[in-house]
Chain A
Amino acid sequence: MSYIELKDITKSYHAGNNILEEIDLTIEKGEFFVLVGPSGSGKSTLLRMIAGLEEVTGGILKMDEKIVNHLQPKDRNLSMVFQNYALYPHLSVEQNILFGLKAKKISKTEQQKRLKETAEMMGLSDLLGRKPRQLSGGQRQRVALARSVVSEAPLCLMDEPLSNLDAKLRAQMRVEIRRLQKQLGLTLIYVTHDQVEAMTMGDRIMVLNDGKIQQVGKPITLYNEPANLFVASFIGSPKMNIGRAEIKEAPGLLVNNTLAFSADARLQEALEVHKDIVVGIRPEHIQPATHYEATHSLEVVNVEQLGNETSLALDVGGELWTAKWPGQWEIETGHLLEVYISQEHLSFFDAQTEKLIRPASFSGHGEVQAI
């Protein structure tokens, strides 16, 4: 049952200059839906249109099968968490949490009951008397979440709620928000520019760039089968290595004039249709030549020891590629390094349209382990 439905939504602030174009989207009840994209891509605008804080220029916005294009925010039965939390600086934590309930004239006993539950759930019971300025960033964040929880609205919108926190707290709050959403059965639309947040939290992700949907899907799908070059390089850290491919005396292809691969019949067929081709390979798929025979040797430009893994910068025909090897490796820069790169791990894109021609055939099937 689709809960929120966007049909051909467009938005422009000045006529003829569309910030968002052709947004078609459905979100299910109870789903954790992440909107991700670089800054300025229109994520906040889209979220604010769903909230009713921004007018919809064109298209239809439905909630629960009803068209809500012109409904006031307060009539949409949703709650929202803002990036800067939007706490009322002159009100105590308790008054901040109860602000909405008082506005809706909910009975005093009900208010107190919900306040108690929420404060306990969010670990705010001891802070109820404080003003926002007397709270740490993480505590403010919790108050903002509590305001959302206490409203008991079935839909919650969050606009980059974690971007003002430090890395450690962010990781912790990611888990907490996720747990809260499951526990309360909320439908959550979550905006972020951070692909790690998107990957780790979302049931489904929508990647937005320049106001256009790039891809919608499960995190793993986006990772394994990115619909285009933008998604390929946006999702995943370090980002996917991209190289220009040329078809050299069949059956083979040459990437960046350096790496030679053989091409099977199916690939060749595909390659004949598309003139210019770009290949992509994930850093973890440039592997050490220990279990396999080395296929290529590349010059090591830089080595970063991260403790649990080693990140290598390799020179591939003048471009820097990254390889990620699990564990600790003693490697000197400047030397040639034997690596194993399987043709199965290559994703192919059309250089002109930037669309995916063929995803890496190996990934996505053998590697995800279900228990």
Chain B
Amino acid sequence: MTNVTAAIAQEEQILFEQTKRKQRYRQFIKGVLFLLPSIVLFSVFLFYPLLRTIYLSFFLTDASGATTVFVGWDNFVTLFQSTIFQQSVKSTFLFVLYTVPLTIIVSLFLAVIANEKLKGIGFFRTIFSSTMGISVAAASVFWLYLFHPTIGFLNIIMEVFGLEKIGWLTDPSWALIAVSATTIWMNIGFTFLILLGGLQSIDKYLYESADVDGAGYFYKLRRITIPMLSPTLFFVVTVTIINAFQTFGQVDILTQGGPQNATNLIVYSIYREAFTNYQFGSASAQAIILFIIILFMTIIQFKLGERKVHYQ
């Protein structure tokens, strides 16, 4: 009798296990199905190109991009010895340094003043965010005119103040600054809009409570606005840095990497290596290095961010 019940119990146990396994399997299939679209898209447009780039970076290629000779790390070694590439990395970091902090500071300032409840503030919000709707090409051409050595607005102003004209895009010591200025101007629209959104999502009761408590404007800015905005700021900083590393359009239209490679930022350098010099192997190696740099910067940022960012 007891044997029989034990056997039945065991059978039930097995059945139970089987059903559980079957259910888990079904859950897994369902999950994969949901992920499938992104897996396919990522594979086609991200993972495959990435792997292909890594693969290419170890080869020499012919003009059509077909691999010819396996050279191992040679592409990388050559790059690190090349003064042009070193210059390119240096320019890129300088460019990031020029553009990111200024973009953030200017946009934050604009966002803070545009967040005040004043008559007609909507007009200013539109103006401040308008550069978001302007394409890189249009903005670059616009600035190209401003930078024009003789009829450009900037040099006309210099003249008015009795200063010497500057070859904004032709002087190696000014070209990177000129491209940076263009970039900052272009990025402000997006950064401003995101920061303004962040500011508006801060509970207004916090400010009222601070008003009653006797906090002044800058005390509120320092103790409430900036900390409450820190997740948004963090997002904006990350995106701006990555964007700065990937800058291409402005350079292509304004300076083509010149003068004397002063504005030859890495992405532009990759483009030239691949599509002007047909060195797909070397271009791939540069791309991998850029990828690693951005990856590192982002990791460092997240490590720092963890400590300083207050998520709700």
User: Which of A96-104, A282-290, A354-362 has 4 or more CB atoms under 8 Å from chain B?
Assistant: A96-104
Q: Give 11 pairs: A residue, B residue, CB < 8 Å, sorted on A.
A: A52-B211, A72-B211, A74-B213, A79-B212, A82-B209, A86-B206, A88-B224, A88-B227, A91-B227, A100-B210, A147-B209
Q: Mark A56-76, 1 if CB is under 8 A from B, else 0.
A: 000000000000000011100
Q: Does A51 contact B (CB under 8 A)?
A: yes
Q: Which residues of B contact A343 (CB under 8 A)?
A: none
Q: Does A40 contact B (CB under 8 A)?
A: no
Q: Contacting A86 at CB < 8 Å: which of B209, B214, B310, B312?
A: B209
Least CB distance from B227 to A in Å reads 4
Q: Contact: B312 with A89, CB < 8 Å?
A: yes
* A48 and chain B: residue at smallest CB distance: B208
User: Which of B105-113, B173-181, B215-223, B232-240 has 4 or more CB atoms under 8 Å from chain A?
Assistant: B215-223
Tell whether A74 pairs with B206 under 8 Å between CB atoms, given A89-B312, A90-B227: no
Q: Contact: B212 with A103, CB < 8 Å?
A: no
Q: Contact: B208 with A74, CB < 8 Å?
A: no
Q: Contact: A86 with B208, CB < 8 Å?
A: yes
Q: Contact: A84 with B205, CB < 8 Å?
A: yes
Q: Contact: A82 with B213, CB < 8 Å?
A: no
Which A residues are closer than 8 A to B by beta carbons? 51-53, 72-74, 78-80, 82, 84, 86, 88-91, 99-100, 102-104, 133, 147, 151
Q: Which residues of B contact A104 (CB under 8 A)?
A: 213-214
* A88 CA to B214 CA, complexed, in Å: 15
Q: Which residues of A contact B210 (CB under 8 A)?
A: 99-100, 103
* A240 CA to B215 CA, complexed, in Å: 47
Least CB distance from B29 to A in Å reads 38
Q: Which residues of A contact B227 (CB under 8 A)?
A: 88, 90-91
* B228 and chain A: residue at smallest CB distance: A90
* A89 CA to B311 CA, complexed, in Å: 9
Tell whether A133 pairs with B312 under 8 Å between CB atoms, given A88-B224, A103-B219: yes
* B207 and chain A: residue at smallest CB distance: A86
Tell whether A82 pairs with B214 under 8 Å between CB atoms, given A89-B310, A133-B312: no
Q: Contacting A74 at CB < 8 Å: which of B212, B230, B310?
A: B212
Q: Which residues of A contact B310 (CB under 8 A)?
A: 89-90
* A78 CA to B224 CA, complexed, in Å: 21
Least CB distance from B121 to A in Å reads 18
Q: Contacting A53 at CB < 8 Å: which of B208, B219, B230?
A: B208
Q: Does B116 contact A (CB under 8 A)?
A: no
Q: Does B164 contact A (CB under 8 A)?
A: no
Q: Contact: A99 with B213, CB < 8 Å?
A: yes
Q: Contact: B203 with A73, CB < 8 Å?
A: no
Q: Which residues of A contact B211 (CB under 8 A)?
A: 52-53, 72-74
Q: Contact: A74 with B214, CB < 8 Å?
A: yes
Q: Which 7 A-B pairs rank lowest in CB-CB distance, beginning with the nearest?
A: A100-B213, A90-B310, A74-B214, A103-B215, A86-B205, A86-B209, A90-B227
Q: Contact: B215 with A99, CB < 8 Å?
A: yes
Q: Mark B296-312, 1 if CB is under 8 A from A, else 0.
A: 00000000000000101
* B206 and chain A: residue at smallest CB distance: A86
Least CB distance from B210 to A in Å reads 7
Q: Which residues of A contact B219 (CB under 8 A)?
A: 102-103
Q: Contact: B312 with A73, CB < 8 Å?
A: no
* A77 and chain B: residue at smallest CB distance: B214
Q: Contact: B209 with A74, CB < 8 Å?
A: no
Q: Which residues of A contact B228 (CB under 8 A)?
A: 89-90
Least CB distance from A63 to B in Å reads 14
* A91 CA to B209 CA, complexed, in Å: 14
* A51 CA to B212 CA, complexed, in Å: 7
Residues of B168-195 contacting chain A, CB below 8 A: none
Q: Contacting A99 at CB < 8 Å: which of B203, B223, B230?
A: B223
* A104 and chain B: residue at smallest CB distance: B214
Least CB distance from B125 to A in Å reads 22
Q: Contact: A80 with B212, CB < 8 Å?
A: yes
Which residue, of B203, B208, B211, B212, has the highest number of chain A Cβ atoms within 10 A? Answer: B212
Least CB distance from B104 to A in Å reads 19
Least CB distance from B234 to A in Å reads 13
* A1 CA to B163 CA, complexed, in Å: 72
Other A-B contacts than A73-B208, A86-B209, 14 sampled, CB-CB below 8 A, are: A52-B212, A53-B208, A53-B211, A74-B211, A84-B205, A86-B203, A86-B205, A88-B223, A89-B228, A90-B310, A99-B215, A99-B223, A104-B213, A147-B213
Least CB distance from B23 to A in Å reads 36
* B213 and chain A: residue at smallest CB distance: A100
* A82 CA to B205 CA, complexed, in Å: 8
Q: Contact: B206 with A88, CB < 8 Å?
A: yes
* A324 CA to B210 CA, complexed, in Å: 47
* A89 CA to B205 CA, complexed, in Å: 12
